[in-house]
Amino acid sequence: MSDLDDFKATYFDECSELLTELEEQFAAIEAGERDADRLNAVFRAIHSIKGGAGAFGFSALVGFAHAYETLLDYVRDGRIEMSDDVVTLCIRANDIVADHVKAVQSGEALPADYGMDEKARFDALARGDTASEDDEGGEPLDDFDIEFVPVMVNFDAVADGDEAPADDRFDAPPMAVEPGHWEINFKPHQALYARANDPLLLFRELAALGEMSVRAIVSDIPPLSDFEPFAVYCSWEITLIAPALTEAMIREVFEFVDGDCDISVVQLGADMAFDVPEEAPAARVAAEPGFPDLLALADDEVEALLDFALESAPAAEPAIVEEAPALSFAALAETIKPNAPVAVRRAPVEALKPASVPESEDGERRSVGVQSIRVDLDKVDRVVNMVGELVITQSMLTQQMDETLRARYTELVRGLEVLAQTTRGLQDSVMAIRAQPVKSVFSRMPRLVRELAQKTGKKIKLRNHRREHRNRQDGDRAAQRSADPYGAQFGRSWHRDAGPARRAARVKSAR
Amino acid sequence: MTTLRVLTVDDSRTILAMLHHTLSNAGFEVLQAEDGKQGLDMLKNGEFDVIITDINMPVMDGIEFIRHVRATGQHQSLPILILTTETSRDKRDRGKAAGGTGWIVKPFDPEKLISVIHRVVH
């Protein structure tokens, strides 16, 4: 069995459980229990079915589940009332989802328009309440990217009185641009760091796109007496050169920090694109009196500068110092070296690890959350059969022991008694493993009764006593099959299999 | 080179299995949690290099989970990727506002998944 087949098997098992849960939830919803927890549970079930279906490319199932999920989202948000009509529609939708799952599992194709009527009703319901106020519910992300309009603001160029100020570039259409030469101005906000994004990682991504040079703008750094550890003082000018580079490729690097920084991406003109990478940074920084260019400093000079800053700063917790954006200067100086390791933030993570935790304990901790495994029924059945053979053999051995042998071989008798006891324990344990929750069998009954009531035109009330036994694991494969939702079989299995003391149920006709 | 430890949080066994398969094959050490609360418990007992979490989960959803993680001082620089089928800006922004570093839209392409992780991890 391939990995994909394994995943599909897991998915179909999960779908089976989720569809059963949907049955249960809607039985309660139909009875009037329409609280938020229940609606959220229903939403999550469809959401999970859709998520898995997407992974396997079950497009028809994804399409229907998405429309259904949207309706449920509106219901739980209160935008659509969970009226009886909507409940009935949802129950029908559950059937359609189940049919889609069954179809992809068996490889059979459903009609192309299967479920389209219900889907249209979802859309109509959603449109009726929300079209005027909210069109973003299912909008693809790309539709929002057009909100961003890049604006190049280069105050340095204006202040320097250059012949061709940077902001004039936008007003000079005749100037030819050089494909693949880009200038990026990037100023992070505090939120960028708060969400664990890091300019260094962005630069690493950019460096993979082409030849990059980075210039740190440190003119906003205040004197140490005014320095706020969590404030953001640094911005960067980045020049990136690669023949096939497009703005979309650059913007994709900044996808996660959109809104958490000021950024402009501008394609340089042909007459100003060259000479930028190596010489321009040093030349430009020279125009910023009072602030040394970290990129131009030798390693020991950078370290000396940082040592001075740390020594001069007020005493602070090591972890806080680590988080301070200002320290990223040092990391920046490291990252601009080709193939330099980036280890600035890794060290404290190691340091925070409790030293007293032994490795064996660590291994034990990793098992948290793994409380069950899934095993093929065939494998379990093989074990059940072998244990059955063992029980028979043990019984035969016991029967062979007549009084003469018992008197003569006392130790053997004791051994057989222990064997009998152990075999019984093993049999009980294996049967407990094989037992299946009967919940999935009986959770379908309310729905079966409801459909019977609709077909017969009678009001039927199903009363299920001893509800505390609904999870009792006393079923077997036959019990699973008995869940086949046919009325006659239901009637027989319900009354024949269920002992009156264990599962008393009564189908009562009101008329 | 140190093996990166990834905490995956999702109530879907299918997604957890696929993440585990993809990430394990890529050399990551993968641990799993089925909801946000279980994820927080695992975070208390281990160090991770990145978290991948679903949004819609029982017990504790992804948004609340991210908020709790960020509220813990030692995890403020821990990258958190939101794994969701939600494509609306509203849902994505909620995850981001809570402290999410980035996102992966299901169904995920294995190569894309690995590449996104490397985008946010040192």
pLDDT tens string B1-34: 678 999 999 998 888 998 999 999 989 999 999 9
List, for chain A, all residue ranges whose pLDDT scores fall below the cut of 50. Answer: 129-175, 270-296, 312-370, 468-511
Do A123 and A210 reside in the same domain of the chain? no
Angle between helix A84-106 and A36-56 (nearest 10): 30
Do A134 and A45 reside in the same domain of the chain? yes
Buried b (16+ CB within 10 A) or exposed e, A62-90: bbbbbbbbbbbbbbbeebbebeeebbebb
CB contact (8 A) between residue A52 and residue B103: no
- Which residues are CB-contacts of A212 (< 8 A; sequence separation ≥ 6)? A203, A206, A238, A239, A240, A241
Closest CA to A21 of A443, A397, A352, A391: A443
Do A173 and A317 reside in the same domain of the chain? yes
CB contact (8 A) between residue A369 and residue B31: yes
Do A474 and A391 reside in the same domain of the chain? no
Predicted confidence at residue A410, as pLDDT, reads 83
- Which residues are CB-contacts of A182 (< 8 A; sequence separation ≥ 6)? A239, A240, A241, A245, A247, A250, A265, A266, A267, A268
Residue A43: list chain B partners with CB under 8 A: 56
> B118 is written with which tokens?
């490397």
CB contact (8 A) between residue A319 and residue B46: no
Rounded distance between C-alpha atoms, residue A46 and residue A272, angstroms? 56
In terms of CA atoms, which chain A residue is nearest residue B82? A256
* Domain presence at residue A357: no
Domain extent for A190? 147-348
- Give the N- to C-terminal CA distance of chain A in Å, as an integer: 54
In terms of CA atoms, which chain A residue is nearest residue B41? A368
Predicted confidence at residue A341, as pLDDT, reads 39
CB contact (8 A) between residue A196 and residue B17: no
- Final residue before a domain boundary, out of A106, A139, A172: A139
Across the interface, of A44, A139, A369, the residue whose CB is closest to B58 is A44
Across the interface, of B76, B87, B102, the residue whose CB is closest to A141 is B87
Q: How confident is the model at residue B100 (pLDDT cuts 50, 70, 90)?
A: very high
In terms of CA atoms, which chain A residue is nearest residue B86? A138
CB contact (8 A) between residue B120 and residue A196: yes
Do A283 and A306 reside in the same domain of the chain? yes
Question: What is the interface size between A and B, counted as CB pairs within 8 Å?
Answer: 138
Shortest Cα–Cα distance, A441 to chain B (Å)? 22
Amino acid at position A88, single letter:
T
Predicted confidence at residue A399, as pLDDT, reads 83
Rounded distance between C-alpha atoms, residue B54 and residue B9, angstroms? 6
Measured CA distances, A414 to A410, A424, A445, A452 (Å): 6, 15, 50, 59
Cross-sheet strand order for the sheet of B50-53: B29-33, B5-9, B50-53, B80-84, B102-105
CB contact (8 A) between residue B73 and residue A319: yes
Strand A211-217 to A235-241 pairing: antiparallel
Shortest Cα–Cα distance, B30 to chain A (Å)? 9
Do A386 and A463 reside in the same domain of the chain? no
Shortest Cα–Cα distance, B90 to chain A (Å)? 8
In terms of CA atoms, which chain B residue is nearest residue A36? B58
Residue B34: list chain A partners with CB under 8 A: 369
> A284 is written with which tokens?
């430009």
Q: What is the ipTM of this complex?
A: 0.86
Across the interface, of A6, A56, A368, the residue whose CB is closest to B45 is A368
In terms of CA atoms, which chain A residue is nearest residue B108? A55
A283-319 residue pLDDT tens: 343 344 444 444 445 555 555 555 555 554 444 443 3
Do A449 and A427 reside in the same domain of the chain? no
* Domain presence at residue A371: no
Rounded distance between C-alpha atoms, residue B73 and residue A156, angstroms? 38
* Domain presence at residue A370: no
Do A227 and A312 reside in the same domain of the chain? yes
- Final residue before a domain boundary, out of A395, A419, A434: A434
CB contact (8 A) between residue A346 and residue B96: no
Predicted confidence at residue B101, as pLDDT, reads 92
Do A493 and A423 reside in the same domain of the chain? no
Which domains can be identified in chain B, with CATH numbers? 5-120 (3.40.50.2300)
- Give B 20-39 residues with CB within 8 A of chain A: 21, 31-34, 38
CB contact (8 A) between residue A366 and residue B31: yes
Predicted confidence at residue A230, as pLDDT, reads 81
> A39 is written with which tokens?
């609606």
Strand A177-188 to A261-269 pairing: antiparallel
State how many domains chain A has: 4
* Domain presence at residue A354: no
* Domain presence at residue A362: no
- Final residue before a domain boundary, out of A139, A157, A181: A139
Do A341 and A410 reside in the same domain of the chain? no
* Domain presence at residue A335: yes
Identify any residues that bridge with B102 across adjacent strands, giving them in sequence order. Answer: B81
* Domain presence at residue A460: yes
Strand B102-105 to B80-84 pairing: parallel
Query: What number of CA atoms fall less than 13 Å from residue A365's CA on the CB side?
Result: 16
* Domain presence at residue A170: yes
Across the interface, of B41, B57, B102, the residue whose CB is closest to A368 is B41
Residue A316: list chain B partners with CB under 8 A: none
Do A300 and A162 reside in the same domain of the chain? yes
Predicted confidence at residue B39, as pLDDT, reads 93
Is the Cβ–Cβ distance between A94 and A118 less than 8 Å?
no
Rounded distance between C-alpha atoms, residue A447 and residue A397, angstroms? 51
Do A392 and A461 reside in the same domain of the chain? no
* CATH number of the domain encompassing residue A97: 1.20.120.160
Residue A199: list chain B partners with CB under 8 A: none
In terms of CA atoms, which chain B residue is nearest residue A319? B74
Rounded distance between C-alpha atoms, residue A238 and residue A240, angstroms? 6
Across the interface, of B13, B106, B121, the residue whose CB is closest to A55 is B106
Q: What is the dihedral of CA A75, A76, A77, A82, to 10 degrees?
A: 30
CA A338-A344-A350 angle, to 5 degrees, is: 130
Predicted confidence at residue A1, as pLDDT, reads 61
Rounded distance between C-alpha atoms, residue A213 and residue A183, angstroms? 10
Predicted confidence at residue A457, as pLDDT, reads 84
A351-403 residue pLDDT tens: 333 333 344 444 444 444 445 677 778 888 889 889 988 988 888 888 888 88
Residue B77: list chain A partners with CB under 8 A: 196, 198, 322-323, 345
Is the Cβ–Cβ distance between A302 and A294 less than 8 Å?
yes
B29-77 residue pLDDT tens: 999 999 999 999 999 988 899 999 988 889 999 999 999 999 987 888 8
